[in-house]
Amino acid sequence: MPTRRELLSIAAAAALPLGSLRAQQPLFRISLAQWSLHRMLFAGELDALAFPAFAKRTFGIEAVEYVNQFFFDKAGDRAFLAELERRAAGEGVESLLIMCDREGDLGDPDAAARARAIENHYKWVEAAAALGCHSIRVNARSSGEREAQKGYAADGLRRLAEFAEPYGIAVLVENHGGLSSDGRWLADVIEAVGLPNCGTLPDFGNFTIAEGEEYDRYRGVAELMPHAKGVSAKSHAFDAAGNETRIDYRRMLEIVLDAGYRGHIGIEWEGDAPDEIEGVRLTKRLLERIRDELAPRYA
């Protein structure tokens, strides 16, 4: 989102009143998480290199969030990364972040295992920088007593964020099961890390702490938003009116906007029906509709 000084400069150059220019700026922009198309990608129906163009041409989305599982063996492949970056740039698509899984637990109670997990993420920091991303998304998995887990996770995240800082990359933690789905616990972890390039990626879903134990999703997102450098709009199913059936999107977006967030909100479709393409389209329509309805309030 442009600063007031930038808006004044643009408005002066265009001979437009500041209020008119500000009114043209959307409350947030929409991005697409690669996981939304995971069935197509795993089936080979969509190639990882083709993802940015597919996002732009199929959905009109100009920003993407990658998932390392779809090019897991390519983190150090400079030719692959250069080609992916070239294709995204050629389509006018912005690369935002890489979601990283299967690299060990950054909050592992075992110091040696935690160190290995931290080092396993180094290559993804470098890959994100090569792609022009601003962040990698990681998990804060740990085990043991609540306060001990907080210490282990903060240690792992701090050390990874320190490595990432010279690359201009932020380390974002998503609520993604276990204690990370406890909004207060995860916010406390980020505060314990205390580094500006370590923050959160609040997900509208993913608030299952354990079987039969659910954290309130609206409270959780509100607790994570002060540290957010991205937001993930999870969706599973829609009713005939085009509303998500499990999540009150209007309430969620009000929480996000009330926190002052004006960055990208990423679509992450996880439903079984309709298919992935229609699921993404339905989520995009819902985000756009509520964004338009809320625009006068937040202008």
In a domain, 1, yes or no: no
In a domain, 7, yes or no: no
What is the DSSP code (8-state) at residue 166?
A: G
* CA–CA gap between residue 243 and residue 206 (Å, rounded): 19
Confidence bin at 299 (pLDDT 50/70/90): confident
- Checking if the pLDDT of 270 tops 60, the result is yes
Report pLDDT for 241. Answer: 98
In a domain, 81, yes or no: yes
Are residues 261 and 232 in contact, defined by beta-carbon separation less than 8 angstroms? no
Q: Where are the alpha helices (DSSP H) in the chain?
A: 4-14, 18-24, 38-42, 51-59, 78-91, 111-120, 122-131, 146-164, 183-193, 217-224, 249-258, 276-298
pLDDT tens-place string over residues 131-182: 999 999 999 999 999 999 999 999 999 999 999 999 999 999 999 999 999 9
pLDDT tens-place string over residues 207-225: 999 999 999 999 999 999 9
Domain of 260, CATH number, reads 3.20.20.150
Q: Which helix (H) or strand (E) holds 138?
A: strand 135-138
Are residues 154 and 118 in contact, defined by beta-carbon separation less than 8 angstroms? no
pLDDT tens-place string over residues 17-62: 544 444 578 999 999 999 999 999 999 999 999 999 999 999 999 9
Distances 78 to 73, 82, 218, 234, 263 between C-alpha atoms, Å: 11, 6, 41, 31, 29
Mean pLDDT of the chain: 93
* CA–CA gap between residue 183 and residue 217 (Å, rounded): 8
What is the DSSP code (8-state) at residue 72?
A: G
Query: 240-276: string of b/e by CB count within 10 Å (b at 16+)?
Result: eeebbeebebeebbbbbbebebbbbbbbbbbbeeeeb
In a domain, 6, yes or no: no
Question: 279 phi and psi, to 5 degrees?
Answer: -60, -40
Report pLDDT for 12. Answer: 44
In a domain, 19, yes or no: no
In a domain, 89, yes or no: yes
Report pLDDT for 103. Answer: 98
In a domain, 10, yes or no: no
Question: 32 phi and psi, to 5 degrees?
Answer: -125, 120
Around Cβ 191, how many Cβ atoms within 10 Å?
Answer: 13
Total structural domains in the chain?
1
In a domain, 152, yes or no: yes
Q: Residue 81 is part of which domain span?
A: 27-298
